[in-house]
A and B are shown apart, each in its own frame.
Chain A
Amino acid sequence: MLRTIIAAHLFALAALGFALGAQAQTIKIAILGPMSFVQGEHHWNGAEMARDEINKEGGINVGGKRMRVELVRADTNEIQSVPDATNAVERVITRDKVDFLIGGFRSEAVLAMQEVAMDYKKLFLGVGAAHSKLGLNVEQNYERYKYWFRVAPTKDVDLARTLFAVLGSIGQQIRTDLKTDTPKVAILAEKAVWTEGLVAAAQKNLPALKMEVVGLWQPSAVATDVTAELSAIDRSGAHIVFTMLSGPVGISVGRQMGERNMKAVAWGINVEGQKEEFWQAAAGKAQFVSTLDTYAEVEYTPKTIAFVKAYQARFKKAPTYTAATYDAIMILKDAIEKQGSTNADKIVAHIEKIEHTGTGAIATFDKRHDLVWAVGKTSGIAVQWQDGKKVPFWPPNVKGMQPFKMPAR
């Protein structure tokens, strides 16, 4: 009996030792996102693709030793609650003992999560939030914030540069098609911190682009009805509705523009319009709505088409920009393998000098650890909804782009 008990204990100790040994062979990465929402879903999907690809090849080579990638799914619930997001980060660091953090979506929440990550000196690769402050922190207090990098999207100021570049292109098409010298633009921006700089820039720059601003309408980000706004825009004779929308109001705008048979075309940021589910959510009415986006079956980078096809085959939907968790993990893999270490300081030094060809961007980082903006490298693409499909139309020099269409007049 005694021998049996001793044998059982020895077996348990051996099993524990084996388990601890196995744990040491993995690199734990927390994927942070609002998992009940589309953004979090794509965070996770992109990360799963990277994990499976790396583990299929035997894992990440850390100084000659192969370590498998283990993902920890962290539901930040950040769309509803910022405290939930910081709690999630605290939990994965202290309880799950993760090595790295990837993800985040809502700027307010990511700013708070950034603080927790920096407290623990954990490398945090942001995939989702655009607010400039995240990068500004790195510039102003490098020693504390150097563990932060923004892998996607570009910061808000650079998003504006892309928006105006595309707007100029659409304006030119309107001049040609409608024989007008000065296209009329209605600015429709949800009332939020992230749109303030963009609105000011639009009001200042559009006259320089020989466009007339006919007005500024600012509904709430969660407005479900914009008929009054659209009625006023219709009356203004606008050719372009320049949108800056991140909330569900983007669906209302798309749908209600279609229901009213508006002749103006919508271009700008419409986060809901980037999602595969947008057409259904807008009840098939969002014809010609266009938005800034990241992924399409075009040769944006040499890896884009293969990634989009593999993603669609696996998840039965196209990736949104938060699926760039795939690129974040690949950047991490590259840095760990080149440095032969998982030491955060060594990895930071490597990523600062990296030029990584990912699936959504060819990434290099500036002193703020933000992506260096360049058309065709990190600017993203522009897409337009045409008959239920997202059709990419900008930048024109990328292979696979199709014509931008205007509503019939």
Chain B
Amino acid sequence: MFQDILVTGLVNGGVYALLAIGFSLIFGVARIVNIAHTAFYMLAAYCFYMLLVKTGLGFLLAGLISVGAVTLLSVICYRLVIEPVREHEAAVLIATIALALIFQELMLYTFGGHFLGIPSTLEGAVRFLGVSIPYQRLLILVVAGAMLVLVWFVLYRTRLGLAIRATANDLEVANLMGMNVHRVAMATVAISVSLAAVAGVVVAPVFVVDPFMWLAPLVTMLAIVVLGGLGSLKGSLIGALIIGYVEAITVFAVPAGAYLKGAVALLIMVIVLLARPEGLFGIAFEEER
């Protein structure tokens, strides 16, 4: 059982990590409460499905177009919906909830409530420690690792990253220092949503595509980002692994309570927050800032 928990927790944690990175950037670093983040993930999954399954484009081309199209849409949405209310967090929250629901209803209207399947990019499975792991899940782990490195590089090794962090730290001072804060925020949204879109393309093949697929990950992503500490990419990665392992342990230890795995994960988050309100890596980030 130990090896099952070890492998299952790692693989599922990888899936969560890929979903959490973009959310960590937008919510944790840029402090834009974009509730529509996972709705963009859903849109990318639908786009990928249409291009791959319906029009027969290859995996790479379908994936690139999906990521590009959804990123472009996010920029338009930012200009039209988020930017005018950017300074009011509650307004951003409500506007992005509305945006997500509009996307959901549009997909429901266009595709109906049917559950759609996307073929795996990589077929087959490998046995590791006696546990069967599909190649698609290993691909997710690799992509999650690559995205994490990429985001870290952009944030801490480029001028854009410096601008994003400065803007997040103090919008007014960054503005007074001559930064175009609106453009920086737009870039942050674009990078973040492109990560959500990558997740949609890579993760959707192991799940089911439907108009409501954005809801469950949203709660998990919020938990991971808050658990790891706002703004900490490392925290998000570790938060994702913790959630993955807690879920695996719940299922193996209490099989009849498998439906509780989400609730147990959230309970762990609450306990950690009671002990460390800033999250696991929150302080380190604050000091760094």
Contact = CB atoms under 8 A, between A and B. Distances in A.
A215 interface: yes
Interface in A252-289: 252, 255-256, 259-262, 272, 277, 280-284
Contacts of B213: 224
B132 interface: yes
A231 B4 contact: yes
Contacts of A41: 112
Contact of A222 (B109, B117, B137, B216): B216
Nearest to B250: A228
Interface string B89-122: 0000000000000000000110011111111100
B252 A232 contact: yes
Interface residues of A, number: 41
B15 A281 contact: no
Interface stretch (A31-39, A120-128, A143-151, A296-304): A31-39
B56 interface: no
Contacts of B255: 215-218, 229, 232
Binding site secondary structure of chain B: helix
Contacts of A234: 132
A79 interface: yes
B173 interface: no
A47 B88 CA distance: 51
B119 A281 contact: no
A227 interface: yes
Contacts of B114: 37-38, 277, 281
B262 interface: yes
Contacts of B258: 191, 217-219, 228-229
A376 B68 CA distance: 55
B207 A36 contact: no
A362 interface: no
B12 A34 contact: no
A225 B12 contact: yes
B73 to A, nearest CB: 23
B12 A191 contact: no
A248 interface: yes
B208 A248 contact: yes
A29 B1 CA distance: 56
A289 B207 CA distance: 18
Contact of B251 (A190, A217, A282): A217
A280 B259 contact: no
A235 interface: yes
19 contacts: A36-B108, A36-B112, A37-B112, A38-B112, A190-B259, A222-B212, A224-B208, A224-B216, A234-B132, A251-B115, A251-B208, A255-B117, A256-B134, A259-B120, A277-B114, A277-B116, A280-B116, A281-B116, A283-B118
Interface of A: 34, 36-38, 41, 79, 190-191, 215-220, 222-225, 227-229, 231-232, 234-235, 248, 251-252, 255-256, 259-262, 272, 277, 280-284
